[in-house]
Structure 1
């Protein structure tokens, strides 16, 4: 089969021919129908050799959807021909967090060598994908896999962050979304669907600000030195009850710190390398700073239900597997509008 692999530190990924995998006991093989690209992949491929821990060669793709193609011994709960999405943050399945479906916070995954597809285990940028357990598959129903595959990360990750701040997003509240690219434009839609908050979107790219307005942002502002004053003005100097930073760089975290309200939330979702000091004389009284990771299995089901009900739509650009290296180049350059999806 064909697969897109990261094979050498610092080199671009390559499309290669490898053996088609066979499912072992308890495993499921999917014929991949769609695989999403993510900035996490670019981050991974930018790491120097001394920091890279994901193994080589690595088949990329932690956002995956497919049709069940073959079952390993003992598998129940899914059938050949089922159209499914893959829940990516695999855990041990036995600890307290996993028992709640919170495998994104599994206590044992690192020690046991359990890694997500595309982030240590072979990923979805291939003709076929082995999924370690049927519990990591969620039925897609009538959803188009190409349009919905990105929801497994670009939908689930913002949903998880927003869900933990919903108590702050009452009528009359304000939410700020910093960075309205692949995850941020989905976050705007989720906020509009599940909360009564006024949504303010920030970005430096006019195209992305236009997209934010298209998908429901009440205000779309350029993320520059004037943004803090504008947000303060829009909130009668109260500030934002929740700030979701999908960039995570030092300048955007400074904006988050400057605009969050007393007792508000800052959710640092982006992996831009910034660090935000918190405490007295840094953040307002009662403000919470959190770095959430991915989301839970039950939250993925809820995200897909939002899509089924028409409240959520990912704007995608599609690429063939042969064109996937070019898609990653465009992702790195910031010229993808919404999310990039590879169709093997």
Structure 2
């Protein structure tokens, strides 16, 4: 089968032929329907080999961590051959202190996983280590469901984290309304009675934000707005500084974006008094369960731009350049 793989650190991924995986006892084979593309896939090949090895990543491996498809074969507990499933994006062991408390995204055994250090979903088939990673999709289309597993679940995790800080009629600012932020705006509209300010430098994204639930839009965030919360899906120096300035005392700033910004601020007068600043990567299994439930009701919009596997390099180049026609891109098999 064909797969899009990182074969050597410091070199671009490439399409190669690899054997179709054969499941061992306890594993499940999934035929891939669609695999969402993530900005992190663009940066992974640029990592120094020492960093990848420290994370437990071993090349070569197949990229792709936003995966959905169909179960292959009978004998999978709770599933039948051909059942549509989404694959939980973050890897977690299910046994450690964090996993037992529903903090899957903090699992110390999850630094290497499907699409980041192990074979992912940019191939015709992918192996799943256990049914713990399988999420039934019901009537949802597995071709387009992949982005729900990371972009959707991660943004939902961010919104769920700030809910205790929010008040009816209060203000929440979402910085960056692309692949993740466009989901966050929808979750805030569905779960809160706050005013939602969408911030982005891309005019097309701002134009689409009101249809997702944003009350206001702006190309930048400036001044002290007295916001209950700011969710930063960019993570650059200027968005971090602006996001902190915009908070009210007791507010919450969530750093989710990975643009390389730094939090270089003295605590006095820079951080929200009695508030919080937090960051994380990934999501919990319960986040994805909620996201799939919302999507199944039709309450969640998930626009994607589809590419065939032959156009995988073009899709990544347009993702990196910010020239997609949709907030998200995926490879359809």
Q: Indicate the TM-score class for this superposition, using the shorter chain for normalisation.
A: over 0.9
2:234 corresponds in structure 1 to: 247
Distance in 1 separating the partners of 2:284 and 2:78: 19
Are 1:194 and 2:191 counterparts?
A: yes
Please state how far the C-alpha of 1:15 moved relative to its aligned partner.
1.4
**Maintained 8 Å contact 2:90/2:110:** no
Q: Give the TM-score normalised by structure 2.
A: 0.94
Are 1:338 and 2:315 counterparts?
A: no
2:89 corresponds in structure 1 to: 88
**Maintained 8 Å contact 1:85/1:140:** yes
CA offset digits 1:303-341 (Å, max 9, x no partner): 011111122111100011111111111111111221101
Indicate the larger mover: 328-337 or 277-286.
277-286
1:9 corresponds in structure 2 to: 9
**Maintained 8 Å contact 2:4/2:123:** yes
| One of 130, 147, 151 as aligned partner of 1:154 | 151
1:179 corresponds in structure 2 to: 176
CA offset digits 1:21-44 (Å, max 9, x no partner): 001111100000010100111121
Distance in 1 separating the partners of 2:275 and 2:42: 31
Please state how far the C-alpha of 1:288 moved relative to its aligned partner.
0.7
Distance in 1 separating the partners of 2:238 and 2:22: 47
CA offset digits 1:80-129 (Å, max 9, x no partner): 2110000021222211222244322113445xxxx220011100000000
**Maintained 8 Å contact 1:15/1:321:** no
**Maintained 8 Å contact 1:29/1:71:** no
For residues 26-105 of structure 1, the aligned pairs below 5 Å read 26-53=26-53, 54-70=57-73, 75-105=76-106
Are 1:292 and 2:280 counterparts?
A: yes
The Cα RMSD (Å) is: 1.6
Please state how far the C-alpha of 1:71 moved relative to its aligned partner.
6.0
Q: 1:71 to 1:41 in 2, by over 3 A?
A: farther
Q: Give the TM-score normalised by structure 1.
A: 0.91
| One of 213, 230, 239 as aligned partner of 2:210 | 213
Distance in 1 separating the partners of 2:202 and 2:314: 21
2:293 corresponds in structure 1 to: 305
**Maintained 8 Å contact 2:30/2:128:** yes
- Provide structure 1 residue ranges, at least 5 long, that are not aligned to the other structure: none
CA offset digits 1:109-160 (Å, max 9, x no partner): 45xxxx2200111000000000111011110011112332101001000100
2:123 corresponds in structure 1 to: 126
**Maintained 8 Å contact 1:147/1:313:** no
1:270 corresponds in structure 2 to: 257
Distance in 1 separating the partners of 2:97 and 2:35: 30
| One of 302, 306, 322 as aligned partner of 1:314 | 302
Distance in 2 separating the partners of 1:158 and 1:311: 16
Are 1:135 and 2:132 counterparts?
A: yes
Distance in 1 separating the partners of 2:87 and 2:102: 14
Indicate the larger mover: 5-14 or 298-307.
5-14
- Provide structure 2 residue ranges, at least 5 long, that are not aligned to the other structure: none
Q: Find runs of 4+ consecutive structure 1 residues off by over 4 angstroms.
A: none
Where 1:40 maps in the other structure, the secondary structure is helix
Where 1:323 maps in the other structure, the secondary structure is helix
Distance in 1 separating the partners of 2:129 and 2:74: 11
2:222 corresponds in structure 1 to: 228
Where 2:135 maps in the other structure, the secondary structure is strand
